Amino acid sequence: MIKTPLEARRELLSEITTDLKKHTPLICLSDNIDATPAELIPLVKEFGFEGIVAKRKDSCYEIGKRSGSRLKYKVNKAQAFVIGGYTRGNPLDALIVGCYEGTKLNSSAR
C-alpha cells in the first residue's frame, strides 16, 4: 500500500506531468471533477466516454487490489477483450482473443 492520500499523489503527478509536457505535449493530467454522478452521466454519454471512476480524496493506493475507496461506473456499453497470443505477419497473421463471461474466459482464434 502506498500510504500517501490521493490528493497528495495528484499534486506530485501534476509536478511530473508539467515537466514532461515541455518535452512531450501529448501527456496531460485529467482534472479533478467534484460533481455528483447525476451531473456527470449526461456529459459522459455526450462525449462517448466509457464511464466514471470515483475515488475518495483520502484514499491510499493499494497495489494489485480493488477496494471500496474506488468505484467504476460504466455508462457506455463496451466489451473488454484479452489478447492471448499472436503470430507475426503483416502486421499479424493470427490473433487469439478472448472475453470473460462471468469468471469463464472464452477464446477464439481469428
pLDDT digits (tens, 9 = 90+) for 88-107: 887 778 888 888 888 888 87
pLDDT digits (tens, 9 = 90+) for 40-84: 999 999 988 888 888 888 888 888 777 788 888 888 777 788 888
pTM of the model: 0.52
Residue 30 backbone phi and psi in degrees, to 5: -65, 150
> If you search the block for the grid coordinates 502486421, which residue do you land on?
91
Please name every residue paired with 92 in a beta bridge, in sequence order, or none if there are none: 88
